[in-house]
Structures are given as structure tokens and as C-alpha cells.
Chain A
Amino acid sequence: MTRPLRLVAVLLGSLLAGACGEGSATVEFRSENAVATSGPGLAAPSVVPRVTQHAQLAIRHYGRRVVESCDWSGDTPHTTRFREDITSDGEGRYAIEPIEEIEGAIPDWPLFRLMQLARQGMVHRYRDAAVRDTMLFAANWQLTDLGLQSMIAGRRCDLYAMSRTVGTARSYTLSIDQETGLILRYAEKDSLGRLLSRVEYESVDYDPDLGGVVWYEEDEREQLDLQGDLAAQLGFVPLLPDLVPLGYALRQAQQVEVGDERWLNLVYSDGVDTLFFVQSFPPLAPRQGAGAGGPGDLHAAGASDRVAILPIGSARAAQGRVSGRGIIAVGKVAEAELLDLIESALN
């Protein structure tokens, strides 16, 4: 690096360090190698394998992290913040435990905590930023090396931006531990640049004592063979959407048992984000205990086909009853895309 550039970098680094608020990451410019200060550029392809979900699962660690999500559906954004502990043995076992809410933004913390504990499997599989399908990632996303470093939880990280190149714009900023490849911080933003979610490690230990950890036990889910005849495997003809949001492709079909009901869960992916299209097994049994005639009674037999749709954080959920089936569709897509997906399954 030439002296003038180094001086400017130092000056800029000082400004950044001074301007960062408490708890913010400190940005540093690489100072040893002029090449490395070159700024944003397409990330090396080899970075992609490091940020795959599989690689993330393979990193044994314990960490405490702050989880933040913003709901922009109201007049003013509503932010939820809480701390959680994550433990992974690097061999597939994990535990994710909410610890405390931050700033009291969660209406009922005890219930929220219980629900989060119950949803550990979903959180682990679907919530955090990661490449979940490399082929679809290559087709739909671009990973940019921002040429910056940050210190997260005392670890030096490289900063990358992961942005969608097709369909609905969406981007993630990733801080990846230089040594281990663990994503120590990510921030998700929508097409307007609004923060949707952020997860940041406050501490991380790559050699933790795993004694006493209560590992989460995965539910049994029967995976169906997508190459085979789904109808034959299920015993009924499933609703299969013909029109899926741009960039998404069907990646899994699984049977899920919730209470005494069986559901078919079709899992779509765009490489990073996931979209679910869930349908009940026919015949649809009337639910016990649900308030008949109330707004929650979307399963009531005899009701006309209808679908309720609403945004939840950065996702959108649709649920209803169509063609005699209960259906659920959830994804980080536009309302029209979700409704089109449902409609296309009926034709």
C-alpha cells in the first residue's frame, strides 16, 4: 500500500472506529497487502462452500448471540431483540436456547421462549443466513467480497455481501470468521435497504465443554422421493404449484405430523431462502377446540375456499382452505407470488 493511501485508510479507519456505537463492529482496512485493500469485488467462488449450511453445521462451537428482527408491516417498524445461546458439536447435534429479551419488546417473553425452544429445528434449518443449495445460489445470488474486515466477538471477520440477482431484491451482509468460516454476524435487508433481521455473536468459543448440553432432538420426518411418483408415495394426488416465485425450485417433500394431523410439506429454495407449501392430507378433519366461526377457523368444513395472508417479519404467510385441503404457504416473497403459487396448485 502506498503511503498516501495508507494514511487515508488509517484516517478513515479512525473515523469509522469513532463513529461506531457501542457494540458495533469496528471496521478495519487490511493494511499489509495492497491487493487486499482493493474494495468490493466478486468473492472468490471458494467462499461459497464455506458459507453453506453444511459447513456451518460442521463447526463445533458455543456462542451467545443477539437476534434481532424488524416487522415493517405496521405504521412504524417493530423490532424484536433477544439473546440466545447456540451450541453445536460439529457433528449434527445442536441446541439453541433463548436467554433473555432485550429492551422488553416481546409481549410475552416466557411463551416466546418456549416457542423458540420448540422451534429449534426450524430455526437451525431455515432461519439464519447460509447457502442452502449451491446450484440455486449460483443461479440466483451473487456473493461480493466487500474488501473489509470487522471484529465480531473478538474474532477477525471478512465482510461479504450476498445479494439476490433475480426476482425480489434482497441482500445479506455477512461477517465470516477468517479462521473458521463461521458466520458471526449477518444483516438481512429488503429491496428498500431496510433492516429485516440481524444476528450477531457476542461471544464464541470453538472448543466448548459440551457436557450437560441438552441437544435438540429432531422430529422424524419422512422424506419423499422427488424423482418418484409423489401420488403413489402419498396415497393421494397432492396439490403441486405450477407457478413458483422466480428463482425458487422444489428441493424437498416431507410428511410432517402435527398433533393428529398429517401434512405434506413441499420445501422450495432459491439457494438461500426457503419457501414452504404445506397441505393437509385429505380428508380434512374438523379441528377440535378451535373456535367455530371465528377468524381462526380456517379449517372449518363447509367454509368456502379462502386464504388469509399477512406479513410476519420479513416473511409472508398464507393459510386457508382450498379444494378441500388445508394449505399453508410461507416465504420471503411478495403477496402476489404467494397467492399465485397457491392458485397455480389448484388448476
Chain B
Amino acid sequence: MNSDPDAELVLGCQRKDPCLEGEFRALYERFKDRVYNVCYRITGNATDALDASQETFGIVFRRIGEFRFQSRFSSWVYRIAVNASIDLRRRARTRRLASLEVFQELGIREGTRHDLPDEGVDMPSEAASRRELEEEIQRAICRLSDKLRAIIVLRYIQNLSYEEIAETLQVSLGTVKSRLSRAHEALDRELAPLLDRHYLG
């Protein structure tokens, strides 16, 4: 018997032709917040988080038939979400441009392309100090490398164990420990002054 808590729904999806309702919908409901949080914390803004979450569920939908329970289903979903978010960040500078192909298709020369500025999420100007702290922490997370950012998010936002993180990122336990330690060193440098202020204040 499969001990994966999501096994029943996953098998249900695999037994039928691709269908957005039923089991897939149930899996979506089960994972939507987790996926969105991972995507938000890795991409750093709501717009990209939405795109990455959408992409994650798109991949899950397309590939669920290939999932063979060699890891927890949740680890597989987290892995897709992490990769989709990292990939989206890499494309961030040009993400609001239509593909060159489409522009060419419409007869637009390459020279007419315009870079649109990357924009963050609108924040209320009267944000409370806690909100400011969250923003600073988020900015510090975003300054981490992809690998360290992913491990911080999985560890402290998703509260995954080392084993689960290793399974999700497909790295060894030693690598998880090493990366987490490096991430702490980096965040300590970035955030210590802020946390000093915050806790003193």
C-alpha cells in the first residue's frame, strides 16, 4: 500500500484521461497555498508568484501520468514549484515582452522592442513596521543565490525536514546541511542590523 498521503488522488488522476476536475482539482486545493507561498518567496513578488504557480500546476497536470512515487508527491510538486520560480526569475528582465517570434510574426523589427521595467508589488505607504520587516527579509531572501533561496524557503516557509528538502531538491543530506548553513551566514550578514533594530525597538 502506498503511504504517500496524496497517493489516492494521484492514482485517480493517472487512471483517467487528463481532466481538470475531480482528483486534479482536489490536488490543486491541497497544494495551491503551499505552491503559491514557495513561488512567492522565491520570486519575491505576487505577479511572478502567480505565473510560477500557474506554471507549476500546468506541469503537474501534464506530467502527473509519469509520476512513479519514487519520492513523495509533495516533494515532486515542491521541486516543480522551485524550478518554475527560479526559471521565472531568470527570465524576469524580459518576462513582459512578447516573444521575439511573435513580434517578427507581426512584422515588427527587433529594433522596436522595448524593455519594460521590472516592477515589484505595490505596497501601502502606511505599512506597519512588521510589514517593513517582512519586506526587508524578503529582499534579503531574494538576494540569496537560487540554491540558497530555495533551501531557506523550503526549510522555514514550508517547514520541511532535511530529508524532505533533500528529496525535493534531489541533493544529498550533506548538501542540504551545507547550503542551509551558508544561507544562514548570508542572511545573518544581511539582516543582523535590521533584526537588532527591530528587536531593540
Direct contact, A vs B (beta carbon within 8 Å):
yes
Instruction: Give the B-binding residues of A (Cβ under 8 A).
Output: 2, 4-5, 8-9, 11-12, 15-16, 19-21, 24-25, 27, 34-35, 37-46, 48-49, 134-135, 138, 146-148, 159, 161, 171, 173, 187, 189, 193, 195
Residues from chain B with Cβ under 8 Å of A37 in the complex: 96
Question: Which stretch in B104-112, B135-143, B161-169 binds the other chain?
Answer: B104-112
**Choice from A5, A11, A38, A134 contacting B18 with Cβ under 8 Å:** A134
B102 at the interface (CB under 8 A from A): yes
Residues from chain B with Cβ under 8 Å of A193 in the complex: 101, 104
A40 touches B116 (CB 8 A): no
A45 touches B62 (CB 8 A): yes
Residues from chain A with Cβ under 8 Å of B61 in the complex: 45, 138
Q: How far in angstroms is the closest Cβ of chain A from B186?
A: 29
Which 6 residue pairs are nearest across A and B when measured between Cβ atoms?
A45-B61, A42-B55, A39-B96, A42-B58, A138-B62, A41-B51
B55 touches A134 (CB 8 A): no
What separation, in Å, do the CA atoms of A40 and B20 have in the docked complex? 22
What separation, in Å, do the CA atoms of A138 and B47 have in the docked complex? 26
**Choice from B54, B105, B114, B119 contacting A11 with Cβ under 8 Å:** B114
How many chain B residues sit at the interface, stated as a range, is 35 or more
What separation, in Å, do the CA atoms of A48 and B58 have in the docked complex? 10
What separation, in Å, do the CA atoms of A284 and B116 have in the docked complex? 65
Residues from chain B with Cβ under 8 Å of A34 in the complex: 47
A interface: dominant SS: mixed
Residues from chain B with Cβ under 8 Å of A35 in the complex: 46-47, 50
Residues from chain B with Cβ under 8 Å of A44 in the complex: 54, 57-58
What separation, in Å, do the CA atoms of A187 and B96 have in the docked complex? 22
Q: How far in angstroms is the closest Cβ of chain B from A185?
A: 10
**Choice from A20, A24, A39, A49 contacting B97 with Cβ under 8 Å:** A39
B179 at the interface (CB under 8 A from A): no
Residues from chain B with Cβ under 8 Å of A15 in the complex: 108, 112, 114
What separation, in Å, do the CA atoms of A5 and B95 have in the docked complex? 13
What separation, in Å, do the CA atoms of A64 and B101 have in the docked complex? 26
A40 touches B95 (CB 8 A): yes
**Choice from B101, B106, B109 contacting A161 with Cβ under 8 Å:** B101
A161 touches B58 (CB 8 A): no
The 27 listed contacts between A and B (C-beta, < 8 Å) are: A2-B119, A12-B116, A15-B108, A16-B106, A19-B106, A19-B112, A20-B108, A27-B98, A34-B47, A35-B46, A35-B47, A38-B50, A39-B95, A40-B98, A42-B58, A44-B54, A44-B57, A134-B17, A135-B17, A138-B18, A138-B63, A146-B99, A148-B98, A159-B102, A161-B99, A173-B102, A195-B105
B98 touches A5 (CB 8 A): no
B122 at the interface (CB under 8 A from A): yes
Q: Which of B66-102 contact A (CB under 8 A)?
A: 84, 88, 91, 94-99, 101-102
Residues from chain A with Cβ under 8 Å of B108 in the complex: 15-16, 19-20
What separation, in Å, do the CA atoms of A40 and B101 have in the docked complex? 12
A41 touches B18 (CB 8 A): no
**Choice from A43, A45, A135, A187 contacting B105 with Cβ under 8 Å:** A187
Q: How far in angstroms is the closest Cβ of chain A from B9?
A: 16
Known pairs A39-B95, A45-B61, A135-B18; A12 contacts B119 (CB<8 A): no
Known pairs A40-B95, A134-B17, A138-B62; A9 contacts B105 (CB<8 A): no
Q: How far in angstroms is the closest Cβ of chain A from B78?
A: 17
Q: How far in angstroms is the closest Cβ of chain B from A144?
A: 8
Known pairs A19-B108, A19-B112; A171 contacts B101 (CB<8 A): yes
Residues from chain B with Cβ under 8 Å of A171 in the complex: 101
A43 touches B98 (CB 8 A): no
Residues from chain B with Cβ under 8 Å of A161 in the complex: 99, 101-102
Residues from chain B with Cβ under 8 Å of A4 in the complex: 117, 119
B47 touches A135 (CB 8 A): no
What separation, in Å, do the CA atoms of A15 and B98 have in the docked complex? 14
